[in-house]
Amino acid sequence: MSDILDDHNDFGLQCPPPFHADQVQLDHGGGGQLSQQLLEQVIQPRFANAELARGHDSALLQFGDARVAFTTDSYVINPLIFPGGDIGKLAVYGTVNDLLMAGARPRYLSCSLIIEEGLPLETLTTILDSMAAAAKECEVAIVTGDTKVVDRGHGDGLYINTAGIGVREWPGTIAPQSIQPGDAIVLSAGVGRHGLAIMAQREGLQFDTPITSDCASLLPAVTTLLENGIDVHCMRDATRGGLASILVELAELSGLSMTLSATAIPVSEVVVGGCELLGLDPLYVANEGCFVAMVPEAQLQAALTLLRDQAVSRESVQIGRVDKKGEPKLTQGKGRVCLQTAIGSTRLLRRMTGRLLPRIC
Amino acid sequence: MKYLTEYRDRHATERLAEKIRTVVTQPWVLMEVCGGQTHSIVKNALEQLLPASVQLVHGPGCPVCVTAAEILDQAIALAQRPDVILCSFGDMLRVPGSQQSLQAVKATGADVRMLYSPMDALAIARANPQRKVVFLAVGFETTGPATALALAQARQWRLNNFFVLLSHFLVPPAISTIVEGLNNRVQGFLAPGHVCAVTGIEPYQQLVARYRVPMVITGFEPVDILQGILCCVAQLERGEARVENPYRRVANDQGNARAQSLVNDVFEVSDQHWRGIGSIANSGLRLSPSYQMFNAVALLDTALPAASPSECISGDILQGIKKPKQCPHFGHRCRPEHPLGAPMVSSEGACAAYFNYQ
């Protein structure tokens, strides 16, 4: 390789550049680098505290002896009802999953509805019934809420915000900062289904095998690990920005590098085909029912056996490892993610920039 | 799907890399012309498999990168009019014009829509008869037929609120410019496989006859690209220069006659301005006289000022004179989230490929 390529890891990561926009643009909500900038440069400095700085899916709080987790998420999706789920189900599972990723048993949710004038009542009741069913499945109660109606044209039919409280019943702190060198990285399901299902539905794309969202509760998968004594160091669901973006974030937060094997990452044939057609990389496509867990190497087989017993995580597989000190060369000892490609070469993985966009030709 | 796994196979790539190492006895500089090829090379870190003596430089085949800032400025001016719906492909929304991007004017209220196909713009025009729908049509020989099809359909439907802002490019004249350039280092070309699937190989035979450089029609998967490199270096080592087509599964030697005739009906060949490179004779398409009523430029009341020079060195990048990391702004002031130039924006841009995959 030429000398130009040898110093290729040294650019641009020293300090965040100034915020480069006068207005918020759609890419600031895509879950990639621009979302990160909006958070780090505009939002977080104004609320700065130690808990927020942890950068976890939920805040880890303690009241006397009570260890709780607290989180919130807003759900904005078009279409409201999609193959494999709907906005209501998503609003319950998404918040429940964020609590689970902090090792907490989800207990209570809030539900705020922002409804656009003209939304058919039938659509609203379908979605609320779906929320109720999802809450029952996840063993959580929706105990408080709020309702607003906005003028036609000022909302996308329906926006939902849910906040959730869970109890951290199990010992230890499950967080990015707990990741250890040598940890095995386990992925619970094939990637790319949710984002592709939404894009296909929105654009009217037809596939021979219909793609459905993987939208699901991770409760059975997470509780089986924790109740059976797996010393889980960190978990994260691979939502916006996809598997690649969340692993890059975990590497940065933990300061540890990771190595993944591209051939180990499960991607169904229909997702590979759909992504190929649209020019997307499945590693950056959003998921709503899969997560990564960092577990000690010694407990890997036990963790995989437990996960594969549950329907939501039956495809669980090791996709890589947290590097030990001094390996590999490409990451230069920094919190980065290295991918071994299918043809045996290696490269770094980066966060997505903005939103996923299809290619031109 | 079979094609994907077969052409991403580790053993096949290793065998080809081994053959390349056996064949090569001296340094060679090859250019892959198409941005899709650049993307695949960097994403798969293919250079790790090549001997140090084979150097790949990246070519001009990124439609987003070569679209002139003036065209973007025109698109932005049109988008800011309340009676206009401006439509284009995803990446075009992010590219900086001389002042701002379409995405930025969208955030201030302009009606800018991202499309998958020019035919979608026709549907929007029919659904919004009181608005003017402008399609910013960019691309090479690969997207020309789709734009031509939309225009032919618009004429048949007698749509009077559909317009195109045309920025279509032709690859062979750009290759001539590169070969004739004073700084040219390129000794062999991996010609763009999808472009050849439309045009056939005849334009590349003319280039070989004129410049005596190997032209190998090359695809986009790792095996395709290594196959293209192997054919190219084998020719160079033997002192040959000819068109070779190992990508016949997609590109037959004659190309797509129907697509060619559609393009010839709707467009005429014209000089074209390439962003960062300058004007190249006969390297673009303009609307033929019978399609002039769809020309979006006629909607603009006044001529816009010429775009000021940018700090982006895209001209050197697109001609293979410099690699992205030789730019002082790469990764610092110029990043995908705040690009100084187009090659950092497009999924086919060399700078974005280096930034995202290395």
Mean pLDDT taken over chain A:
89
Structure confidence by residue, pLDDT tens digits, B175-226: 999 999 988 999 999 999 999 999 999 999 999 999 999 999 999 999 999 9
* Listed range (A78-92, A236-250, A321-335) with the worst mean pLDDT: A321-335
User: Taking CB atoms and an 8 Å limit, are A347 and B43 in contact across chains?
Assistant: yes
Structure confidence by residue, pLDDT tens digits, B290-314: 999 999 999 987 777 777 667 888 8
Q: Per-residue confidence at B338, pLDDT binned at 50, 70, 90?
A: confident
Structure confidence by residue, pLDDT tens digits, A344-360: 999 999 888 767 666 65
Q: How far is A301 from chain B (nearest CA, A)?
A: 28
Residue A220's pLDDT is 98
Q: How far is A311 from chain B (nearest CA, A)?
A: 27
pLDDT at residue A38 tops 60 = yes
Give a yes or no: residue A62 inside a domain: yes
Structural domain count, chain A: 2
**CATH number listed for the domain at residues B2-58+179-244:** 3.40.50.11750
Chain B residue with Cα closest to A346: B45
Q: Tell me what the mean pLDDT of segment A217-224 comes to.
A: 98
* Same domain, yes or no: A315 and A206: yes
Q: How far is A209 from chain B (nearest CA, A)?
A: 13
User: Taking CB atoms and an 8 Å limit, are B325 and A7 in contact across chains?
Assistant: yes
Question: ipTM for the complex?
Answer: 0.77
Residue B213's pLDDT is 97
User: Residue A39 burial by CB count (10 A; 0-12/13-18/19+): exposed, middle or buried?
Assistant: middle
CATH of the domain at A268: 3.90.650.10
Q: How far is B211 from chain A (nearest CA, A)?
A: 27
Residues of B whose CB is below 8 A from A21 = 104, 107
Distance in angstroms (rounded) separating the CA atoms of residues A232 and A294: 6
Structure confidence by residue, pLDDT tens digits, B106-119: 999 999 999 888 99
In 3D, which of A355, A351, A335 has the Cα closest to residue A245?
A: A351
Residues of B whose CB is below 8 A from A27 = 94, 103, 337
pLDDT at residue A242 tops 80 = yes
Q: Tell me what the mean pLDDT of segment A223-241 comes to.
A: 96
Give a yes or no: residue A98 inside a domain: yes
Distance in angstroms (rounded) separating the CA atoms of residues B144 and B153: 14
Mean pLDDT taken over chain B:
93
Residues found in chain B? 358
Of A9, A17, A348, the CB nearest to B338: A17
Residue B273's pLDDT is 93
Give a yes or no: residue A37 inside a domain: no
Residue A17's pLDDT is 41
CATH architecture, range B65-170+255-299: 3-Layer(aba) Sandwich (3.40)
Q: Could you tell me the pTM of the whole model?
A: 0.84
Residue B85's pLDDT is 97
Residues found in chain A? 361
Give a yes or no: residue A51 inside a domain: no
Last residue of a domain, one of A135, A152, A169: A169
Last residue of a domain, one of A169, A199, A215: A169
Distance in angstroms (rounded) separating the CA atoms of residues A151 and B313: 48
Distance in angstroms (rounded) separating the CA atoms of residues A98 and A264: 25
Q: Per-residue confidence at A6, pLDDT binned at 50, 70, 90?
A: very low
Q: Per-residue confidence at A12, pLDDT binned at 50, 70, 90?
A: very low
For A141, which DSSP code? E
* Same domain, yes or no: A218 and A292: yes
Chain B residue with Cα closest to A330: B358
Residue A109's pLDDT is 98
pLDDT at residue A311 tops 80 = yes
Give a yes or no: residue A325 inside a domain: yes
DSSP secondary structure of B258-310: HHHHHHHHHEEEEEEEETTTEEEEEEEEEE-GGGGGGBGGGG-SSPPPPPPPP
Q: Tell me what the mean pLDDT of segment B225-229 comes to.
A: 97
Partner B, chain A 181-240, Cβ-Cβ below 8 Å: 203
Within this chain, domains B2-58+179-244 and B65-170+255-299 share the same CATH topology: yes
pLDDT at residue A18 tops 70 = no
Residue A15's pLDDT is 36
pLDDT at residue A14 tops 50 = no
Q: Per-residue confidence at B46, pLDDT binned at 50, 70, 90?
A: very high
Structure confidence by residue, pLDDT tens digits, A162-220: 999 999 999 889 999 999 999 999 999 999 999 999 888 877 777 777 889 999 999 99
Residue B321's pLDDT is 87
Residues of B whose CB is below 8 A from A20 = 337-338
Q: Around Cβ B190, how many Cβ atoms within 10 Å? A: 28
User: Taking CB atoms and an 8 Å limit, are B13 and A344 in contact across chains?
Assistant: yes
Structure confidence by residue, pLDDT tens digits, A106-159: 999 999 999 999 999 999 999 999 999 999 999 999 999 999 999 998 888 999
Which secondary-structure segment (H or E) carries A349? strand A346-349
Chain B residue with Cα closest to A1: B52
Last residue of a domain, one of A169, A197, A223: A169
Residue B211's pLDDT is 97
Residues of B whose CB is below 8 A from A342 = 8, 10, 44
Q: Per-residue confidence at A2, pLDDT binned at 50, 70, 90?
A: very low
User: Taking CB atoms and an 8 Å limit, are B1 and A4 in contact across chains?
Assistant: no
* Same domain, yes or no: A197 and A336: yes
Residue A117's pLDDT is 95
* Same domain, yes or no: A336 and A201: yes
In 3D, which of A167, A193, A168, A162 has the Cα closest to residue A92?
A: A162
Which secondary-structure segment (H or E) carries B162? strand B162-169
Residue A8's pLDDT is 34
Q: Tell me what the mean pLDDT of segment B160-166 comes to.
A: 97
Q: Indicate the pairing of strand B243-244 with strand B215-218.
A: parallel
* Same domain, yes or no: A215 and A158: no
Residue A359's pLDDT is 61
Q: Around Cβ B269, how many Cβ atoms within 10 Å? A: 15
Query: Which of A208, A330, A343, A357 is the mutation pick for testing B, counting most B CBs within 10 A?
Result: A343
Residues of B whose CB is below 8 A from A2 = 52, 55, 323
User: Taking CB atoms and an 8 Å limit, are A1 and B48 in contact across chains?
Assistant: yes
Give a yes or no: residue A4 inside a domain: no
User: Taking CB atoms and an 8 Å limit, are B107 and A343 in contact across chains?
Assistant: no
More confident residue, A77 or B345: A77
* Same domain, yes or no: A101 and A148: yes
State how far the alpha carbon of A97 is from the alpha carbons of A104, A296, B144, B246, in Å.
9, 22, 46, 49
Residue A9's pLDDT is 33
Structure confidence by residue, pLDDT tens digits, A263-285: 999 999 889 988 888 888 999 99
- Inter-chain contacts counted by CB atoms under 8 A, chains A and B: 136
User: Taking CB atoms and an 8 Å limit, are A17 and B333 in contact across chains?
Assistant: yes
Residues of B whose CB is below 8 A from A347 = 42-45, 357-358
DSSP secondary structure of A253-308: HHT--EEEEGGGS---HHHHHHHHHHT--GGGS--SS-EEEEE-GGGHHHHHHHHH
* Same domain, yes or no: A206 and A68: no
Chain A residue with Cα closest to B63: A360
Residues of B whose CB is below 8 A from A12 = 330-332, 335
What is the extent of the structural domain holding A162?
58-169
Residue B347's pLDDT is 72
Residues of B whose CB is below 8 A from A35 = none
CATH of the domain at A147: 3.30.1330.10
User: Taking CB atoms and an 8 Å limit, are A2 and B323 in contact across chains?
Assistant: yes
Give a yes or no: residue A293 inside a domain: yes
Distance in angstroms (rounded) separating the CA atoms of residues A164 and A135: 11
Q: Per-residue confidence at A1, pLDDT binned at 50, 70, 90?
A: very low
* Same domain, yes or no: A161 and A74: yes
Residues of A whose CB is below 8 A from B336 = 33, 353-354
Give a yes or no: residue A13 inside a domain: no
* Same domain, yes or no: A145 and A182: no
A353 in B contact zone (CB under 8 Å): yes
DSSP secondary structure of B89-157: EGGGGTS--SS--HHHHHHTT--EEEESSHHHHHHHHHH-TTSEEEEEEEESTTTHHHHHHHHHHHHHT
pLDDT at residue B45 tops 70 = yes
Domain positions in chain B: 2-58+179-244, 65-170+255-299
* Same domain, yes or no: A78 and A156: yes
Residues of B whose CB is below 8 A from A346 = 45, 48
* Same domain, yes or no: A258 and A340: yes
User: Taking CB atoms and an 8 Å limit, are A2 and B355 in contact across chains?
Assistant: no
